[in-house]
Amino acid sequence: MEDQNKSQRKMSTAGESLYKILDLKKGASPEELKKAKLALRHHPDKNPDNPEAADKFKEINNANSILSDENKRKIYDEYGSMGLYVAEQFGDESVKYYFLMSKCWFKCKTSEEPENFAYVDPEDLEAEIRNQDAGENAPIVIQPHATNGIK
């Protein structure tokens, strides 16, 4: 599994780390996960006097279902509950790309940031490229347009 010394995620769909809900350490084996069945202890039928038992039971079942599924567990370990949300909305294969594109270098610049680049008109750029290529034995990069009726 992953490095067990890595800090546990603070956010989850239940409000705290899924590992903490099940009283496990990150990187716990599937066998340890099976042994950590806390659902019976917190089942609402076994605790009729405790109004919070139903909520705790739901949290435990949710944590257990996520950490028991190898793919969901991998996503949760790497991206936290936000990764699970993205996987649910866009599919498991989209999670990595979502977080990649949400990094700072994919974001728009704010209005306070100064512009540190010079604007280049596309027509000027094309003319410059044509001038550089003129007279050289460069490969043809622009294909001629087809005309209708002429073979």
Whether the CB-CB separation of 95 and 107 falls below 8 Å is answered with: no
% of the chain at pLDDT higher than 90:
10
Tell me: the pLDDT tens digits for 125-139?
788 877 776 656 656
Cβ within 8 Å of residue 43, ≥6 positions away: 53, 57
Domain coordinates in residue numbering, the chain: 18-106
CATH 3.30.360.10 describes domain 18-106: no
pLDDT band at 97 (very low <50, low <70, confident <90, very high): confident
Between CA 93 and CA 109 the distance in angstroms is 28
3-class secondary structure, 32: helix
pLDDT at position 58, please?
Answer: 83
